[in-house]
Amino acid sequence: MERNPTARLEQVIAAIQRRWGTHALRLLGDAATAPAVPVVPTGFAALDAALGIGGVPRGRLTEMLGTPTSGMTTIALTLIARAQTQGDLAGYVDLSRTFDAEYAAHIGVDLVSLLLVRPSSAADALEIIQALIASGGVGVLVVDALALLQSVPQDARLLEQALRVLPGVLAASPCAVLALTPLPYSPEMARSLAFTGSLLAHAASIRLHIIREAWLPAEQGPPGCHARISVLKHRLAPTKGDAQVLIRFADEVKTWH
């Protein structure tokens, strides 16, 4: 049987790029023709620019980490609202039981078309997540807080098994999965949870760390904060540095540079 070395090499390159990203391996002469990564814009221009691809990637898992009041949930809800205006069906898996429908609506989320999932067990949660992704009909799926499953040994085993098959399911789906990981206030504990040993750390294509740097003065209107978003991991493109964003908790969301 005649072999075609060029075709075989192209298959190997494509397989490597699917797993590790297009930046991991490419022909130098093809730099200008690299395929664009399909994304969902976050609603924050500075963050989209820092990601280098224009938003959160479809067909991939993105993890976002932050302490309470860092702005992490507001960013996730803004992403959902932006996706809905573009015609995407969005879902929110509320493992932490903290979803605030009134606040989500204030951010701009269309509650009527939002899929709100509150599973009774880790096994149910993971099966529902996989089913929604595999359906091909969900454009954005926010999971809050998937990392909590790691605290229970049996649930951690189920999560590890699910994360093994998730890349294959996602690869055939238009869904952008955003996992929210709440961090404790203690810097030492935050470093331990955020940067070492996490199952999500290995599975995620992108990891973002949100840090609230300063509250807005009361005289400047509705409450909000300045936040810095650091790209901890990026398999799909070179990072463009940290993003500085202005988050309004009770008004429109804006960006600053």
* Segment 124-161, tens digit of pLDDT: 999 999 999 999 999 999 999 998 898 889 999 999 99
pLDDT tens track for 57-69: 999 999 999 988 8
* CB contact at 8 A, 39 and 56: yes
pLDDT value of residue 257? 32
| pLDDT tens per residue across span 198-221 | 788 889 999 999 999 999 887 777
Over the chain, what is the mean pLDDT?
86
What's the pLDDT score for residue 147?
86
Please state the φ and ψ torsions of residue 40, each to the nearest 5 degrees: -115, 115
In sign, the C-alpha dihedral spanning 190, 96, 44, 224 is: negative
Q: Which band of pLDDT confidence, cut at 50, 70 and 90, is reported for residue 248?
A: confident
Tokens read off for 128:
């529902």
Q: pLDDT value at position 252? A: 46
Question: Once rounded to an integer, what is the mean pLDDT over residues 74-80?
Answer: 96
pLDDT confidence tier of residue 1, bands split at 50, 70 and 90: very low
Q: Does the global pTM surpass 0.85?
A: no
Is 230's pLDDT higher than 70? yes
> CB of 216 within 8 A of CB of 224?
yes
Q: What is the pLDDT of residue 33?
A: 46
Q: What is the pLDDT of residues 80-136, one digit of tens each?
A: 999 999 999 999 999 999 999 999 999 999 999 999 999 999 999 999 999 999 999
Q: How confident is the model at residue 255 (pLDDT cuts 50, 70, 90)?
A: very low
pLDDT of residue 190: 54
Amino acid letter at 89?
A: L
pLDDT top residue among 2 and 79: 79
Find the length of the chain.
257
Contact (Cβ atoms closer than 8 angstroms) between residue 93 and residue 149:
no
Under the banding of pLDDT at 50, 70 and 90, the label for residue 31 is: very low
Domains and CATH numbers, the chain: 1-31 (no CATH), 36-255 (3.40.50.300)
Q: What is the pLDDT of residues 164-192, one digit of tens each?
A: 999 999 999 999 999 999 887 666 555 55
